[in-house]
Amino acid sequence: DQQVKQNSPSLSVQEGRISILNCDYTNSMFDYFLWYKKYPAEGPTFLISISSIKDKNEDGRFTVFLNKSAKHLSLHIVPSQPGDSAVYFCAASRGGSYIPTFGRGTSLIVHP
Q: Are 13 and 76 in contact (CB under 8 A)?
A: no
CB of 79 to another protein, least distance (A): 25
Distance, CA of 28 to CA of 46 (rounded, Å): 22
Distance, CA of 111 to CA of 2 (rounded, Å): 31
Q: Candidates 16, 17, 46, 59: give the one binding another protein (CB under 8 A).
A: 46
For position 98 contacting another protein by CB under 8 A, the verdict is yes
CA atoms within 13 A on the CB side of 35: 28
In the window 15-44, what residues touch another protein (CB under 8 A)?
A: 31-32, 34, 41-44
Binding site for another protein (CB under 8 A): 4, 6, 9, 31-32, 34, 41-46, 49, 51, 89, 91-93, 97-105
